[in-house]
């Protein structure tokens, strides 16, 4: 149970001054709080002996008032220091998680649901933070404060009465320890269920258009109700155990009171204890109620914190399957791109997704990648992004294996536009600047190259228009062009376009291709596409089928070969002509 303190040892070592000061003040406050019951007991005995005077009353009242003020000030300071530490550990752990998320490759996100990762970043971290704040308080109060009270009661009142009154404590310790074990297992299940619920909310919000299109609102509502019921059931299972703490402790505290009062009266009757001492003892016994409850709170918080920290550490324990190279090289320029017999399979795939791919591309050239759906076009492009562990064969840039190149240097050369553009819920300007560059001229050049300048005239605030969640305020073609501008603004050495213009019309696509050719003279461009018109100018075109290169060459060379490329090109030419004819008639 207390292993959580070892797991958080790095934090307590880092914040040792904060916690040392808070604990010191807690001890001082505890010692001061022991004094008032003694004064009350002495006052009662003084009254019983008929020795009370106004001066005695005045001194006692002033002393009690002074102690109250000092304890108030000290309590404020230790509370601020101690509970502030809880927010610090939450911030540090959340930062660790975010850095870890940013290092992870797609494999990690394929194995872990977004909703569960969100739960670990919120609810679980709050439970861990509770341990570093309220958990420390309950630990000190249930041990140090209780120990101080017991010593005071034994030394200054009666060790016999103290021993008799604490007889129920071992029973309480046994029961709360048993309850704690039950809570740990149930809380783990409750947190897993909360992660499932988060995932359900995310999927519903993200897919709301599809849900409405198929009139599945009722089904989605029923499914969500089932998930939330599961969360409720699992949390109630935790609460059922938590609810046992208070009555258990109340019963045992009541037994302690009965023993204290009964045996205390016996000692007073036999002149072994004064009335004032018995009153002081009962006040101390009342002060022990919180430490006894603190034992239950401590077990509860520790078990919750342990379960949550285990979940967080499980996430942090994932190692990137594409690690940074040791002593990675940082060439000035990427140089020639060469694939030598590259075979690759996704971790979740049962077959090879690329097979014996071999080609060479000189700096400044354009590569076109075409083929049927699922032929491996996107997979080939992603080999340069190093999102997955390498397969067989080698990929070289400037004669250097890509695995030996420093990851940050490699990424600085690349500009990537995926099939499905992702836009942040910010302005168009900020979305484009996310790719790099800070100057207005760079921004305007990227906008013009991506053929987005005319669209800005019809947007309410131009570049400062908010795009909405995932770009919902823009059309598919507009989102693709903003995503393209984001890649272009950095002026990358190698531009990767993964079917990045599928949502724009053929005329706009031709304009964009022409703009890219003019703007990126001398730089490498790789275009994966279904439209052959986008790669007519390419220096090399690869035709993929089931992950293999079945044809390669320039546009004219592939037409002469008369294979799939020529057949597809002629079909698309006919479709384009029919489309233009239809527009003219309209």
Mean pLDDT is lowest, of 115-124, 248-257, 336-345, 415-424, for 248-257
Residues in contact with 95: Cβ distance below 8 Å, sequence separation at least 6, in sequence order:
none
Select from 309, 302, 262 the least CA-distant residue to 125: 309
Q: pLDDT band for position 581 (50/70/90)?
A: low
Rounded to the nearest 5 degrees, what angle is found at the Cα of 46, between the Cα atoms of 40 and 52?
Answer: 105
First to last CA, the chain: 76
Residue appearing with tokens 């992702």: 422
Question: Across residues 321-332, what is the average pLDDT?
Answer: 84
Select from 139, 145, 140 the least CA-distant residue to 33: 145
- 583 pLDDT higher than 60: no
- 586 pLDDT higher than 50: no
Residue 118, token pair as written in the block: 């969100």
Question: Across residues 429-448, what is the average pLDDT?
Answer: 86
Q: pLDDT band for position 448 (50/70/90)?
A: very high
Question: Across residues 508-512, what is the average pLDDT?
Answer: 90
Local structure of 392: helix, strand or coil: strand
What pLDDT score does 93 carry? 92
What pLDDT score does 579 carry? 61
Q: pLDDT band for position 582 (50/70/90)?
A: low
Q: In the chain, pLDDT over 70 holds for what percent of residues? A: 97
- 528 pLDDT higher than 90: yes
Q: What does the pLDDT look like over 108-118, one tens digit per residue?
A: 888 888 888 88
- 396 pLDDT higher than 90: yes
- Residue count of the chain: 586
Question: Across residues 14-19, what is the average pLDDT?
Answer: 91
Residue 569, token pair as written in the block: 């090109």
- 553 pLDDT higher than 60: yes
Buried b (16+ CB within 10 A) or exposed e, 380-417: bbbbbbbebebbebebbbeebebbebebeebeebbbbb
Q: How many Å apart are CA 274 and CA 47, to the nearest integer?
A: 12
- 465 pLDDT higher than 90: no
Q: Which DSSP letter does residue 319 get?
A: P
Question: Across residues 477-489, what is the average pLDDT?
Answer: 90
Check the CA dihedral 109-110-111-113 and report its sign: positive
What pLDDT score does 345 carry? 92
Mean pLDDT is lowest, of 186-200, 338-352, 387-401, for 186-200
User: Mean pLDDT: which of 2-6, 296-300, 361-365, 433-437 is highest?
Assistant: 361-365
Q: How many Å apart are CA 368 and CA 540, to the nearest integer?
A: 6
Mean pLDDT is lowest, of 51-55, 129-133, 295-299, 446-450, for 51-55
Q: pLDDT band for position 162 (50/70/90)?
A: confident
What pLDDT score does 209 carry? 67
Mean pLDDT is lowest, of 86-100, 201-215, 360-374, 534-548, for 201-215
Select from 394, 332, 376 the least CA-distant residue to 547: 376
What pLDDT score does 580 carry? 57
- H/E element, 481: helix 476-488
Q: pLDDT band for position 468 (50/70/90)?
A: confident
Residues in contact with 418: Cβ distance below 8 Å, sequence separation at least 6, in sequence order:
483, 498, 500
- 308 pLDDT higher than 70: yes
pLDDT higher at 280 or 379:
379
Average per-residue pLDDT for the chain: 86
Q: What does the pLDDT look like over 30-66, one tens digit per residue?
A: 889 888 888 887 787 777 777 777 777 788 889 889 9
Select from 375, 371, 374, 468 the least CA-distant residue to 428: 468
Q: How many Å apart are CA 578 and CA 571, to the nearest integer?
A: 11
Q: pLDDT band for position 210 (50/70/90)?
A: confident
Q: How many Å apart are CA 30 and CA 145, to the nearest integer?
A: 7
The pTM of this model reads 0.78
């Amino acid at each position: 149970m207390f292993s959580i303190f070892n797991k958080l040892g790095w934090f307590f070592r880092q914040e040792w001054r904060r916690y040392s000061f808070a604990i010191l003040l807690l001890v001082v406050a505890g010692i001061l709080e022991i004094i008032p019951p003694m004064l009350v007991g002495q006052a009662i005995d003084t009254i019983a002996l008929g020795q009370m005077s106004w001066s005695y009353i005045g001194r006692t009242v002033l002393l009690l008032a002074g102690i109250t003020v000092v304890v108030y000030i000290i309590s404020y300071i230790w509370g601020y220091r101690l509970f502030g530490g809880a927010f610090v550990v939450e911030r540090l752990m959340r930062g660790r998680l975010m850095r870890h998320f940013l290092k992870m490759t797609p494999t990690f996100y394929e194995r872990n649901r977004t909703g569960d990762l969100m739960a670990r970043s919120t609810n679980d971290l709050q439970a861990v933070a509770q341990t570093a704040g309220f958990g420390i308080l309950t630990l000190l109060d249930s041990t140090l404060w209780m120990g101080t009270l017991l010593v005071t009661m034994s030394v200054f009142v009666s060790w016999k009465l103290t021993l008799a009154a604490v007889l129920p404590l071992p029973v309480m310790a046994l029961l709360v320890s048993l309850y704690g074990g039950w809570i740990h297992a149930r809380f783990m299940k409750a947190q897993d269920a909360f992660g499932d619920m988060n995932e359900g909310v995310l999927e519903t919000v993200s897919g709301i258009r599809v849900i409405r299109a198929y009139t599945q609102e009722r089904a989605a509502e029923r499914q969500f109700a089932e998930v939330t019921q599961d969360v409720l059931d699992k949390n109630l299972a935790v609460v059922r155990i938590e609810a046992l703490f208070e009555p258990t402790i109340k019963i045992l505290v009541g037994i302690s009171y009965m023993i204290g009062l009964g045996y205390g009266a016996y000692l007073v009757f036999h002149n072994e204890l004064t009335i004032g001492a018995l009153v002081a003892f009962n006040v101390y016994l009342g002060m022990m109620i919180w430490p006894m409850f603190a034992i239950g709170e401590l077990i509860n918080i520790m078990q919750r914190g342990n379960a949550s920290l285990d979940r967080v550490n499980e996430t942090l324990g994932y190692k990137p399957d594409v690690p940074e190279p040791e002593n990675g090289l940082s060439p000035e320029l990427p140089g020639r791109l060469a694939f030598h017999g590259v075979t690759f399979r996704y971790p979740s795939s049962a077959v090879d997704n690329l097979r014996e791919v071999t080609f060479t591309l000189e700096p400044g050239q354009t590569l076109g990648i075409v083929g049927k759906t699922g032929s491996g076009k996107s997979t080939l492009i992603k080999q340069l992004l190093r999102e997955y562990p390498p397969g067989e064969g080698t990929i070289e840039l400037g004669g250097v294996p890509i695995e030996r190149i420093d990851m940050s240097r490699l990424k600085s050369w690349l500009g990537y536009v995926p099939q499905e553009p992702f836009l942040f819920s910010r302005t168009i300007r900020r979305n484009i600047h996310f790719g790099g560059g800070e100057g207005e001229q760079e921004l305007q050049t990227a906008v013009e190259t991506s053929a987005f300048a005319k669209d800005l005239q019809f947007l309410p605030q131009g570049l400062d228009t908010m795009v909405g969640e995932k770009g919902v305020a823009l059309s598919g073609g507009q989102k693709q062009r903003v995503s393209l501008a984001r890649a272009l603004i950095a002026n990358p050495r190698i531009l990767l376009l993964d079917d990045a213009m599928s949502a724009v019309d053929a005329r706009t696509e031709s304009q964009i291709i022409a703009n890219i050719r003019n703007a990126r003279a001398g730089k490498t461009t790789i275009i994966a596409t279904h439209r052959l018109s986008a790669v007519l100018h390419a220096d090399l075109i690869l035709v993929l089928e089931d992950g293999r290169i079945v044809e390669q060459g320039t546009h004219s060379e592939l037409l002469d070969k008369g294979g799939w490329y020529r057949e597809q090109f002629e079909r698309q030419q006919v479709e384009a002509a029919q489309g233009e004819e239809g527009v003219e008639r309209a």
